[in-house]
Amino acid sequence: MDFDPSANRVVATARIPGGAAPKKAPVPVKIIVAGGFGVGKTTTVGAISEISPLTTEAEMTSESVGIDNPGQATMKTTTTIAMDFGVLTIDQTLKLYIFGTPGQTRFAFMWDDLVKGALGALVVVDTNRIDDCYPAVDYFERAGLPFVVGVNTFNGQMGYSLDEVRWALAVRDDVPVISYDARFRASVRDALLVVLDQALDKAIKMKS
């Protein structure tokens, strides 16, 4: 067999300058979009993302009620959840990830992974099923993650006023309750800007 090393080398050298691989990877940041099933999380992610939303499957471990009793053989259940996410390139060195996560489940260990280092969260609410978002609100409050309640006005109308939603959720006064339309990019952008505003407030407070 004839083996021609020179031909090989040409291929090799041609590839390295061609690929952008040696470039430094951008720094990622993330925002969480949480809420119950079918409230428009994926629509929200898809509206702002520059790629069509991707789905990743993650194993989630949740523990049942015996959680406060460490000695007890706690019932650990493992479920696979699907998580949608999108990407938005801010600039060459910064990339925003928007993760849409199912929020019905309590004690979801994966959430800890998810919120670690997150800028903030948008809790999507459907006024027909407000209680679906309780676990998410609860979790973010405990985790100390800045969040905003976003009422998705699917059909351009809401069943309840924002004040009523705020009352139902009993969130702190400094948590914004806004309405937005998950189908429109500008509307989702504005909702995320409110989240970032909260994040900035917290970050500045933490720094000083």
Footprint on this chain of another protein (rule: CB under 8 A):
16, 19-30, 54-59, 69, 71-73, 76, 78, 80, 83, 85, 87-88, 90-91, 94-97, 99, 113-114, 116-119, 185-186, 189, 192-193, 196-197, 199-200, 203-204, 206-207
φ/ψ of residue 78, rounded to 5: -120, 125
Q: Which is nearer to another protein, 167 or 186 (CB)?
A: 186
- Rounded least distance, CB 99 to another protein, Å: 7
Indicate the residue among 5 and 22 with the shorter CB distance to another protein.
Answer: 22
**Do residues 139 and 111 make contact, with C-beta atoms less than 8 angstroms apart?**
yes
Given the complex with another protein, which of 165 and 194 has the nearer CB atom? Answer: 194
For residues 195 and 32, what is the distance between their CA atoms, to the nearest angstrom? 10
Min dist. Cβ of residue 139 to another protein (A):
17
For another protein, the closer of residues 77 and 161 by Cβ is 77
Label residue 29 exposed, middle or buried (CB < 10 Å: 0-12, 13-18, 19+).
middle
Token pair 């691989």: residue: 21
HEC profile of 56-121? EEEEEEEECHHHHCCCCCCCEEEEEEEEEEEEEEEECCEEEEEEEEECCCCCEHHHHHHHCCCCEE
Provide, for the chain, the percentages of residues in helix, strand and coil under a 3-state DSSP scheme, each rounded to the nearest 5. Answer: 40, 30, 30
Taking the least distance from each CB to another protein, the nearer of 87 and 168 is 87
Report, in Å, the least distance between residue 201 CB and another protein: 9
- Could you tell me which residues are beta bridge partners of residue 96? 29, 88
Rounded to a whole number of angstroms, the minimum distance from the CB of residue 98 to another protein is 10
Closest CB to another protein among residues 131, 185: 185
Q: How far apart are CA 20 and CA 124, in angstroms?
A: 37
* Least distance CB 165 / another protein (angstroms): 24
End-to-end CA distance of the chain: 71
Least distance CB 2 / another protein (angstroms): 23
